[in-house]
Amino acid sequence: MSETNSALEREIGEIRRDPRALAMKQFIQHGRVTTYDHCLNVARLSSRMSKRLQSLSIRVDEHSLLRGAMLHDYFLYDWHHHEGRWHGYRHPVIAAQNAKRDFGLTNKEEAIILTHMWPLTLRHIPLTPGGLDRLPRGQMVLRA
């Protein structure tokens, strides 16, 4: 198992096999990519970026990062027919509410989901110097 795959299994293995998360396979995110695959792809990319940053001695909260990445679009509807043009603005709040209800979220994970569309979502601003999240100084969670 690759380093990326083992991190994905360790941090989000349960979530990605949960029937509630698998429900994202019903919805197309873009082209032929389902919302589930989109979120998993973002988690994979986040894991690779995390490994790279850690190799540069930059601390990354990989657990929060990967959970936030996997749940960042957990809005559970077909955005092409629901929410219309407001989807881009509203779905981070809906995804965070759903994820909190179904999986529980830390404040960091909730912030990752709420801020992932910034600057489109002006009210949910990433607040760390890296522009990445509401985290204690010296820690970083990438936006996914």
The candidate with the shortest Cα–Cα distance to 12, out of 92, 97, 74, 56, is 74
Q: Are 126 and 115 in contact (CB under 8 A)?
A: yes
Spatial distance between the Cα atoms of 106 and 77, rounded to a whole number of angstroms:
24
- Of 11-19, 29-37, 67-75, 122-130, the window that binds Fe ion (rule: CB under 5 A) is 67-75
Structure tokens at 134: 């509401």
User: DSSP alpha helices (H): ranges in the chain?
Assistant: 3-17, 19-22, 35-55, 62-71, 87-103, 107-115
Please give the backbone phi and psi of residue 138, each rounded to the nearest 5 degrees, phi first. Answer: 90, -5
Structure tokens at 135: 């985290």
Residue of minimal CB distance from Fe ion?
73
Is residue 43 a contact point for Fe ion (CB under 5 A)? no
Q: Nearest distance from residue 91's CB to Fe ion, in Å?
A: 6
Q: Return the number of the residue (51 or 78) whose C-beta is nearest Fe ion.
A: 78
Residues in the interface with Fe ion (CB under 5 A) total: 1
Q: Nearest distance from residue 129's CB to Fe ion, in Å?
A: 24
- Interface with Fe ion in residues 81-140 (CB under 5 A): none
Q: Nearest distance from residue 33's CB to Fe ion, in Å?
A: 13
- Of 14-22, 63-71, 72-80, 130-138, the window that binds Fe ion (rule: CB under 5 A) is 72-80
Amino acid at 64: S
Instruction: Using CB under 5 A, pick the residue from 11, 61, 62, 73 that binds Fe ion.
Output: 73
The residues of the shown chain that bind Fe ion, judged by CB under 5 A, are: 73
